[in-house]
Amino acid sequence: MLCNIKKRLDRHHQGRVSSTKNGRPWELVLQVEFKTRSEAMLLEKRIKKRGAKRYLDNYFGV
């Protein structure tokens, strides 16, 4: 299942996602493609546990 990133980011900008509506505007800094949804969810869990900024700084040098 492929996700339309632009459409998803637009939903965040419009405030339609309750967990992210207070942090607008959002900027996409990294996009990673996975073969399965479970792999993607595992990375998302790791990022949320560590904190997005710390995770990106430590693992991707963003």
pTM metric for this prediction: 0.61
In percent, the amount of the chain with pLDDT more than 70 equals 92
What total of structural domains would you count in the chain?
2
Domain containing 42 equals 33-62
pLDDT of residue 1: 45
Kindly state whether residues 51 and 27 are assigned to the same domain: no
Secondary structure of the chain: what % helix, strand, coil (to 5)?
55, 0, 45
Mean pLDDT by 10 residues, the chain (62 residues): 78 88 84 91 89 82 64
Kindly state whether residues 8 and 20 are assigned to the same domain: yes
Q: What is the dihedral of CA 28, 33, 38, 42, to 10 degrees?
A: -50
